[in-house]
Amino acid sequence: MRAFIKMLFISIVALFVFIPSALADNSVTRVDGKTRYSTAVNAAKKGWTTANTVVLVGKTAYADALSSVPFAKQKDAPVLYTNKDNLSPETKSGLKSLKTKKVIIIGGQSNISNKVANQLKSMGISVSRIAGKTRYDTATLIAKQMKITNVAIVANGFAYADTVAISPYAAKMGYPILLTNSKGLQSVTASYLKNRGIKQTIVIGGESRVNKATFNKLPSPTRVGGATRYDTAANVVRKYNMSTNNTFISNGFAYADSVSGASLAAKQGKAFIFTNDKSLPTPTRKIIGEKKITRFSAIGGTTVISSNVLSQLKNPVVGKKVFIDPGHGAHDAGAIGYGLLEKNVNLDVSKRLNSKLINAGALTSLSRTKDTYDTLEQRVIKGANAKADIFISVHANSNDNSSANGTETYYDKTYAATNSLKLAQNIQPKMVSALGTRDRGVKIAGFYVIKKSKMPSVLLETGFVSSPVDSNILKSATYKDRLASGIASGVSGYFK
C-alpha cells in the first residue's frame, strides 16, 4: 500500500510538472467557414451575441466593405456579405441568429440588387442603402454618416490590404476611410476634406499607392507604409500601439476573410497583421517578437491559412531571434577523428537547426554559412548585432581517451545566468534523446563566446569525434537531422 501511495504521489507531481509546459504554447483560434458568407457570420458571432444593425456588402465589393468598417463600429454592427441577386443562405441564417432588425446596404445595385433588399424586408428587417456612382463617392457618403472628426484616413481604393491594415485603428479612433487612386487625388475626396474641415490626414501605403503629388495636397499628411503589405500592417501596429493581447491575422491576399477579421478586430479594438497561406512572412514574425504576442485569432480556412501557419503561431519560438554559431571553420578544423572534421559537423548541424527554427517561426542568424572563419570576438559581436534573444554555439568534442563519449551542454554565469541555465536544461535532454548518447549533463564553463555574450547563451558539445560510437552517430545525416530537431524542440521549450 505504501508503494502504491508513493507511486500515486509521484504521478500527481509529474502531472503538475508537465501540464504547465503543455499549456504554455501560444493560443491560436481559427475562425472560418465553408464560404466567405459563413466565415463573416462566424466572425460576427465571436463579437456579437445579438446585432440590432448589420452592414451588408457585395461579395467582392472590398473597397465598400473596408470603407464601412469604421462606420460599422460606430453603429456597433458587424460587416456581412451577400450575393448580388439573392440573399446568401448563410447570411440569412446569420441575420436570424443575431436577431438583426436593421440592415444598411453599402453600394449600388451592381453589387447588391433591390431583390436582396426586398428579401430582407420580407424578413421583417428595415433596409437603407448608402451608395455612390464610384467607390470614391461611396466612401465619402459613408464618411458623412459618421461622427464629425478633424482627422481622416486616405487609402488607394484598389489597395485592399493596406485598408484592411488600418481599418481597426480607424474604427477605434472614429476616423473615416476615404479613397483615391495611384494617379491623383479624386475630386470627391478632395471636396470632402475641404468641406468637412479635415485638419490632418493619415495616408496608408507607399508612393506606389498614394503618390507624392497627392500626398502633398492633403492637409497635414503623415504616411504609414512598408515594402510589402506585411510590413505595412506591422508598421500600423508599431506606430499606433494597437492592443496585441489577442491579435487578428489573415491572409494578406484573401480580402473577403480579411474584411471579416477587420470588422471583428475593430469591434474588440485589437491589432491586425497578415500572413501568406504557407508560412509566416519575416515582417510578421518581427512584429510578433517585438510585441511578444502570444494570442491570435486566425481568420480563414486551411486554403487561405495553412495548418503550418497555425503551428508556427502556436510555437513559443515564433518571432524570437536565435543566433546560431557553428564553431571553428576554414583553417581551424577543430577536433579531428574517425574521418570527421569538427568544423564540418558543426556547420551541418547548425544549418539543419537553422532550417528547423525557421520552419517553426523563428528569426535566425548564423555566424557562418560556409567554411569560413571568425574570431571568437567576431562571433560575439555578430550575435550582439543581430540583437538575438539567445545564442547557441554548436561544437563536437574530443578526448585522447577514445572511450570518452556522450553529449553535454555548457553555460556561463557572467551574463543572464538563470536563463542560460534554463536554456541549457531544455536543450540537453532533447539532444540526448535524439542521439541516444550518454548524458554528460549541463555544466558551467567560461568558454569565450558564452562568457562574453550578454544574452542567454549555451555551448553544445553534441558528441565526441574521437569516440568510435559517437563518431558513427555524427556521420549519419539521419541522426544529425534528429539532433537539429531536438535542439529546436529544446529552444521552443525554453521560450514557453
pLDDT tens digits for the chain (496 residues)?
444 444 444 344 333 333 334 447 999 999 999 999 999 999 999 999 999 999 999 999 999 999 999 999 999 999 999 999 999 999 999 999 999 999 999 999 999 999 999 999 999 999 999 999 999 999 999 999 999 999 999 999 999 999 999 999 999 999 999 999 999 999 999 999 999 999 999 999 999 999 999 999 999 999 999 999 999 999 999 999 999 999 999 999 999 999 999 999 999 999 999 999 999 999 999 999 999 999 999 999 999 999 999 999 999 999 999 999 999 999 999 999 999 999 999 999 999 999 999 999 999 999 999 999 999 999 999 999 999 999 999 999 999 999 999 999 999 999 999 999 999 999 999 999 999 999 999 999 999 999 999 999 999 999 999 999 999 999 999 999 999 999 999 999 999 9
Question: Residues 335, 282: one domain?
Answer: no
Whether 11 is covered by a domain: the verdict is no
Residue 390 to residue 179: CA distance in whole angstroms = 45
Question: Residues 340, 287: one domain?
Answer: no
Whether 180 is covered by a domain: the verdict is yes
Whole-model pTM?
0.91
Whether 369 is covered by a domain: the verdict is yes
- Choose, from 90, 342, 408, 461, the residue flagged as catalytic: 461
Whether 22 is covered by a domain: the verdict is no
Please say which residue of 298, 314, 330 terminates a domain.
314
Residue 87: burial class (beta carbons within 10 Å; 0-12, 13-18, 19+)? buried
Q: What is the CATH number of the domain that holds 486?
A: 3.40.630.40
Question: Residues 292, 337: one domain?
Answer: no
Residue 174 to residue 147: CA distance in whole angstroms = 7
Residue 398 to residue 340: CA distance in whole angstroms = 11
Asked if 408 is an active-site residue, the reply is no
Residue 361 to residue 156: CA distance in whole angstroms = 31
Question: Residues 338, 250: one domain?
Answer: no
Question: Residues 464, 340: one domain?
Answer: yes
Whether 21 is covered by a domain: the verdict is no
Phi, psi of 35, deg, nearest 5: -135, 170
Task: Name, in order, each residue with C-beta under 8 angstroms of 397's C-beta and a sequence gap of 6 or more.
Answer: 335, 404, 408, 461, 462, 463, 464, 465, 466, 470
Question: Residues 295, 339: one domain?
Answer: no
Q: What pLDDT is recorded for position 59?
A: 95
Domain count, the chain: 2
Task: Name, in order, each residue with C-beta under 8 angstroms of 253's C-beta and a sequence gap of 6 or more.
Answer: 161, 276
Question: Residues 132, 272: one domain?
Answer: yes
Question: Residues 102, 204: one domain?
Answer: yes
Whether 16 is covered by a domain: the verdict is no
Question: Residues 346, 398: one domain?
Answer: yes
Question: Residues 292, 344: one domain?
Answer: no
Q: What pLDDT is recorded for position 309?
A: 98
Q: What pLDDT is recorded for position 24?
A: 72
CA-to-CA separations, 171 to 183, 222, 328, 395, 420, in angstroms, rounded: 27, 18, 55, 53, 44
Question: Residues 420, 344: one domain?
Answer: yes
CA-to-CA separations, 225 to 72, 268, 316, 346, in angstroms, rounded: 25, 24, 28, 41
Q: What pLDDT is recorded for position 23?
A: 47
Please say which residue of 314, 335, 360 terminates a domain.
314
Amino acid letter at 337? G
Question: Residues 307, 358: one domain?
Answer: no
Whether 19 is covered by a domain: the verdict is no
Residue numbers of the domain that contains 103 = 29-314
Whether 4 is covered by a domain: the verdict is no
Please say which residue of 273, 293, 314 terminates a domain.
314
